[in-house]
């Protein structure tokens, strides 16, 4: 009997050690793949079912937030609507004149550098706040973003993100404020911050259950899908937000597998020497992660 117990314990330990080795091998492969990309990268994978971080690579390194900061703006808009400051169904004026945070001087958005061309046709007319939020996320409309930031206040956006556990993210301003950019005043984030934010949406900590479901629905309708979900099969759903500027390409969101498991994945990059090649390499890393997650 004693010998049987010894054999059983030994077998169990061997099984555990094999799995740990496999996990470490996988982590090493992902790290090596990231090192082969000419640029700086960060990646975090968080298991929502087990409440556990599976991959953590440069999670606290700071990056220009690019359009990932639009998710915090969306959260704040729903929060203020819930507080009764306005209704998501309210209509507001579409304007194309904004003030620099440096000196208050006016600047405008350029349709050639923006997504969501249709909104520019509505300048001087009214659209719903709901429509602005949808365009801000799904087609990454900078015009919609700046209108919403003027309405909710960038400082309040950052304060709300702190309450979700995002310790470093800074939402300082709207998009295309060139004077602010020249002075180094840009929106910034870390991979860890974005994980906290998406965890907040997934767990209903970022709003009511109804609001978080609405936000997830918008994120699932994302039109830019050339990073995290690029090589995913159709039976995998991703609620995510991308962000890109020169040499920078990010994607952050929640992955829903057919078996009911879900994960937050954040991939950040900067100083990419070859934007297209770097983006494709990151998309292939994302697929490699998915393949690992879908193993029995």
Would you state the pLDDT for residue 15?
42
Q: Phi and psi dihedrals of 63, rounded to 5? A: -135, 150
End-to-end CA distance of the chain: 33
Residue 22 confidence (pLDDT): 59
To which H or E segment does residue 41 belong? strand 40-47
Instruction: Identify the pLDDT of residue 111.
Output: 87
> pLDDT tens digits, the chain, 296 residues: what are they?
555 555 444 444 444 343 434 588 899 999 999 999 999 999 999 999 999 999 999 999 999 999 999 999 999 999 999 999 999 999 999 999 999 999 999 999 888 888 778 899 999 999 999 999 999 999 999 999 999 999 999 999 999 999 999 999 999 999 999 999 999 999 999 999 999 999 999 999 999 999 999 999 999 999 999 999 999 999 999 999 999 999 999 999 999 999 999 999 999 999 999 999 999 999 999 999 999 999 88
pLDDT of residue 11: 46
Contact yes or no for 256/237 (Cβ under 8 A): yes
State both tokens at 186.
């840009």
* Second CATH level (architecture) for the domain 38-293: 3-Layer(aba) Sandwich (3.40)
Distance CA 285, CA 275 (A): 15
Q: Whole-structure pTM over 0.85, yes or no?
A: yes
Calpha distance 177→101 (Å, rounded) = 8
> Where do the structural domains in the chain lie, given as residue ranges?
38-293
* CB contact at 8 A, 106 and 134: no
């Amino acid at each position: 009997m004693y010998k049987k117990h010894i054999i059983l314990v030994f077998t169990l330990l061997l099984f555990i050690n094999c799995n740990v080795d496999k996990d470490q091998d996988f982590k090493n492969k992902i790290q090596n793949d990231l090192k082969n990309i000419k640029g700086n990268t960060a990646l975090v994978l968080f298991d929502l079912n087990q409440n556990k971080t599976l991959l953590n690579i440069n999670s606290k390194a700071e990056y220009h937030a690019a359009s990932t900061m639009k998710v915090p703006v969306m959260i704040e808009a729903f929060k203020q609507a819930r507080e009764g400051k306005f209704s998501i169904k309210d209509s507001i004026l579409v304007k194309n004149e904004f003030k620099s945070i440096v000196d208050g001087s006016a600047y405008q958005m350029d349709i050639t550098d923006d997504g969501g061309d249709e909104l520019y046709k509505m300048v001087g007319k009214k659209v719903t706040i709901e429509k602005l939020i949808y365009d801000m996320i799904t087609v990454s409309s900078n015009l919609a973003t700046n209108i919403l930031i003027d309405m909710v206040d960038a400082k309040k956006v950052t304060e709300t993100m702190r309450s979700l556990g995002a310790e470093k993210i800074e939402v300082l301003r709207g998009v295309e404020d060139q004077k602010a950019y020249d002075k180094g005043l840009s929106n910034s984030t870390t991979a860890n911050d974005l994980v906290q934010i998406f965890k907040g949406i997934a767990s209903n900590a970022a709003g009511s259950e109804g609001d978080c479901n609405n936000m997830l629905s918008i994120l699932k309708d994302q039109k830019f899908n050339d990073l995290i979900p690029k090589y995913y099969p159709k039976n995998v759903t991703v609620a995510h937000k991308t962000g890109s500027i020169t040499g920078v390409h990010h994607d952050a969101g929640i992955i829903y597998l057919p078996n009911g498991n879900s994960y937050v994945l954040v991939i950040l990059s900067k100083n990419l020497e070859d934007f297209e090649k770097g983006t494709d390499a990151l998309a292939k890393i994302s697929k490699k992660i998915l393949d690992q997650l879908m193993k029995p």
